[in-house]
Amino acid sequence: MNNKILRHNTSDIILHWFNALCWFLLLITGLGVLGNHQINPLGKWFPAMMESLCGGAECLLTVHEIIGLVWISAFLLYLLLNFRASMNFLREIFTIHPRRDLVWLLKKPLQLTIGNKAMRRLGLNTELPPQGFYNVGQKAFAQPAVILGLIIAVTGIIMFLSDKVLAEEQTVLVIWSIGIHYVAVGLVTAGLAIHIFMAAINIEERPAFYSMFSGYVPVEHVKYHNPLWYEEIIQEEQSLPDSGTSRTQEATGVQEQSTADKI
């Protein structure tokens, strides 16, 4: 089966990897700036190393601020240019179906840790409830990533403005921003560890990982992992045979791709 479905368009792929690069650089420079070893989760050595690499803590702070501003600007630009797609994304990740999603959330981690066999031995059914474009595990990371990302951006801007425009009476905002920024980044990073494992290391999700480069996922993968999304594509394809909504274009993309493969 060579049939493929378009899962991510080019701008989404660029945004994803741009975001990943920014987060990585912001995380290491941010941890580097956190020179008070009593509040640095990595302790003394990390800020010392980063300071040596960057040539001083002042430089680290400047780099952190610049990357942060570029990151925020890029997201604002994306939001302006792709407003509808952004709203669809937000609607998609914040839509949950408590009954079946809860079962999925309980079973999937068991499957990944003790395995199907052990689950059957415990008398558990290993079948997972069907999922849509994103499974609820992905949503469980996407939701906090969006909300905490927003919090990180806002608190970051407040801290950036502290010695530019804020008066002494407003520094209480800055001090709270420091604490909130710190916790939000810590939580996102904890989620990121699972996200990176699921996306880049977990063998089952390998086709989805490749789709973050090529844009395409095999139909078989979609049928098994995202059956509700697959149903949606088929339905849309049948109800709107030739008018141009984005989904049907994707579905036509499937056919074009498959003919190309045959040739």
Partner 1 sequence: MKSQYAMIIDSSKCIDCKACLAACKQVNDLPEDHWRNWIKYSEQDPQSAETHLVHFQPGGCMQCNTPTCVEACPTRATYKDERDGTVKIDYGLCIGCGSCIPACPYGARYRNPITRKVDKCDFCDFWRNNFGLEPACVSTCPTKARIFGDIHDPKTRAYQVLRENSDRVVRLSNPQTETKPNMFYLKNTAPKDWPKPARTPDPIKAMLCCLTPGLQGILGASILGALVMWGKQIFTRSEEEQDDRESE
Interface ranges with partner 1 (CB under 8 A)? 33-36, 38-41, 47, 56-58, 61, 109, 112-117, 126-127, 159-160, 162-164, 166-168, 171-172, 174-176, 178-180, 182-183, 186-187, 189-191, 193-194, 196-197, 201-203
Q: Cα angle vertex 126, ends 130, 140, to 5°?
A: 50
d(CA 263, CA 258): 9
Complex with partner 1: residue 179 or 241, whichever CB lies closer: 179
Complex with partner 1: residue 60 or 254, whichever CB lies closer: 60
Complex with partner 1: residue 113 or 259, whichever CB lies closer: 113
Complex with partner 1: residue 81 or 175, whichever CB lies closer: 175
> Which tokens is 39 given?
């509040």
**By CB neighbour count within 10 A (0-12 exposed, 13-18 middle, 19+ buried), where does 181 fall?**
buried
Complex with partner 1: residue 10 or 38, whichever CB lies closer: 38
For 213, other C-beta atoms within 10 Å of its C-beta total 11
Q: Residues 232-239: contacts with CB within 8 Å, 24+ apart?
A: 232/132, 232/133, 233/5
Residue 5 C-beta: closest distance to partner 1, Å: 20
d(CA 195, CA 140): 10
Residue 108 C-beta: closest distance to partner 1, Å: 10
Complex with partner 1: residue 162 or 258, whichever CB lies closer: 162
d(CA 40, CA 103): 37
Half-sphere exposure of 181 (CA within 13 A, CB side): 22
d(CA 236, CA 248): 6
Look-up of token digits 């998609």: 92
CA distances 143 to 93, 105, 148, Å, are 7, 15, 8
d(CA 199, CA 207): 9
| Distinct helix (H) and strand (E) counts, the chain | 12, 2
Residue 157 C-beta: closest distance to partner 1, Å: 12
d(CA 67, CA 251): 38
Complex with partner 1: residue 204 or 261, whichever CB lies closer: 204
